Amino acid sequence: MTQRIAILKGGMSPEREVSLVSGEAIAKSLRSQKYDVMEIDAAPNLWEQLHEADPDVIINALHGEWGEDGRVQGVLDLFGAPYSHSGVMASALAMDKHRAKAVLRDVGITVPEGLLVPREEAAQNHPMDPPYVVKPNAQGSSVGVYLVHEGDPPAAEMAENENMGDLVLVEKFAPGKELTVAVMDGKALAVTDIIPQTDWYDYEAKYSDGGSKHVIPAEIPDFARDLCLTWALQAHDALGCQGVSRSDFRFNAENCTESNVVNKIVMLELNTQPGMTPTSLVPEQAAYVGIDFDQLCRWMVEDASWPR
């Protein structure tokens, strides 16, 4: 019997446009595999939208606040149909970068030095010696991320950027390569080196055509690759994630040896609902290990469960 699949996309976060692309790509794939697909542009009346669609399985392709911070997952738990990606606890915890870092640090993963600061205060005075990065504590995809270089004044413009929230996360800038690892079906897939074509791996570099170059596998020492793979899987498990996740790292290769590599790699964050756009990293890594996009989407349907 053909399964009826509801795909949640769009939503109300600043990452709405990316979510629309992710959802449409998944819908196209599943339709080609003869699933009965309903696309839902998630709204505040999501409960009614789900009851009207009456799906057998729900694929959550929402990104950012509200879509992957545990609130939608709570609705899905109440609705009672199998759904994809992480549940309430893991979603809420991973989205709160400051609290997630405490868990990661507790299991031995190196994370950047950082602190929570009122946004307006960080816009007026340096919370720490530059260089440092200021980011929303509960957003994704580098929306509203500020890099303050040595010699720069504080990022005064963020005072007006209410999308960042009242408290922002300030982290010591970690130099080096931008690396990422996808975890799927209990396995860390590969390490990708992300080379932005802009000054910073920001929203444009992530999602614009040609915004960044992806090197897979990353050209790094085997011991550094193995540590990234180990930490990505460890983080996935420590935060209680399910389905697919993606962990982001910075690797400073200068004077790096096998004995000091744990001090040369820092984990920046874990994304519980990584993108499925044409430029997204998870489909690339899946393809690298022999899983094409149709297989990836079908696996998400088969992996869905309730409760998560």
Give the active site residues: 15, 141, 207, 246, 248, 269, 271, 275
DSSP class of 306: S
Angle at 142 between CA 138 and CA 148, to 5 degrees: 100
Q: How many Cβ atoms are within 10 Å of 237's Cβ, its own excluded?
A: 14
Cβ(272)–Cβ(241) under 8 Å? Answer: yes
Q: For residue 92, what are the contacts with CB-CB under 8 A and spacing of at least 6?
A: 69, 70
Q: Dihedral of the CA atoms 284, 286, 288, 292 (nearest 10)?
A: -90
For the chain, the farthest-separated pair of C-alpha atoms sits apart, in whole angstroms, at: 64
Q: How far apart are CA 291 and CA 46, in angstroms?
A: 32
- Distances in Å between the alpha carbon of 59 and those of 30, 184, 185, 273? 11, 15, 16, 11
Q: How far apart are CA 182 and CA 246, in angstroms?
A: 4
Residue carrying structure tokens 């446009």: 17
